Copies of this chain bind each other. A is one copy, B any other.
Amino acid sequence: MLDMRYCELSKDGFGCCMTVKETLFSAQSEFQKVDIFDTESMGRVLTLDGLMMTTERDEFYYHEMISHIPMCAHKNPKTVLVIGGGDGGTIREVLKHDTVEKVVLCEIDGMVVDACKKYLPAIGCELENPRAEIRIEDAIEFIKDKKKQYDVILIDSTDPMGPGEGLFTEEFYTNVKEALKEGGIMAAQSESPFINQKEMKMMYPLLRKVFPIVDCFTGPIPSYPGGYWSWAFCSESVKPLDYIDEQRAEKVSKLCKIYNKEYHKARFALPNFVKELIK
């Protein structure tokens, strides 16, 4: 039998492995290598340029965090923009909020969306929801002329290299801020506090140049190297724990494997070394 194993290892040789049963999709898009394979341990898995994006078994650890924390911290999120997130997991979570009239997904790579619709239906199940608008566009261009249009913007990007690189710049963050309505909130994946300390030390000071309120929340993600992840919470006027929509949080929690109001609040209590990283 062929013993095929996917491993995502850091330069110094630490990381996460899983045995591969079968490759379902593998192609080079205009932007990156897109692979979907099946594993016994983690179900179906999406990688981009060989880096772990999501697995069927643990995708909710990531998607519930990036979505429900900013969404429940907003009083009435009607229009939401998701940047990246072509697998559809983030918009699936956003659409659990009945305040949402429209969620726009701006993903640069149409191949990711098409492949996930076909091979990761449990994650991509809301990509054809009538409240979702899928734009296959470069978010860096897309955002430029959007002024005061969104209540919540979620940056569900790859790492700050390759196609995702331009999503980690002061110019881009400034445009995101201007695309937010008054009282708007931006959340962005901000890498691993264990593996990507350099990237976090680069990202948070940039965010602080743009947003008066910048905070960080963290949580476990088994399939990511180091198993521990962070997200930035940014706004012009909303502090992370100023407000939680109790009723909506309660309703959404019933549809979630992780998210609940107490867990939401607890995410902002950071380890000493993470406080240092985001200074």
Contact B13 A16 (CB under 8 A): no
Mark A45-66 against chain B: 1 for CB-CB distance below 8 A, else 0. 0000000000000100000000
Question: Nearest 3 pairs between A and B by C-beta?
Answer: A227-B227, A13-B19, A14-B41
Mark A13-34 against chain B: 1 for CB-CB distance below 8 A, else 0. 1111111000000000000000
Cβ contacts under 8 Å, A15 to chain B: 16-18
Cβ contacts under 8 Å, A253 to chain B: 272
The number of times this chain is found in the oligomer is 2
9 A-B pairs within 8 Å (CB atoms) are namely A12-B41, A13-B17, A13-B19, A13-B39, A14-B17, A14-B18, A220-B228, A224-B227, A253-B272
From DSSP, what is the main secondary structure of chain A's interface residues? loop
Contact A39 B18 (CB under 8 A): no
Contact-residue bracket for chain A: 35 or more
Cβ contacts under 8 Å, A19 to chain B: 9, 12-14
B17, B222, B228, B259: the one contacting A9 at CB < 8 Å is B17
Distance from A251 Cβ to chain B, minimum over Cβ atoms (Å): 13
B221, B224, B260, B269: the one contacting A266 at CB < 8 Å is B269
Question: What is the chain B residue whose CB lies nearest that of A58?
Answer: B194
Find the residue from A220, A256, A259, A273 having the highest chain B CB count within 10 A.
Answer: A220
Cβ contacts under 8 Å, A18 to chain B: 13-15
- Extra 7 A-B pairs, beta carbons < 8 Å, given A9-B17, A13-B17, A58-B194: A13-B19, A15-B16, A227-B227, A258-B272, A262-B269, A263-B269, A266-B266
Is A237 positioned at the interface, with any CB of B under 8 Å from its CB? no
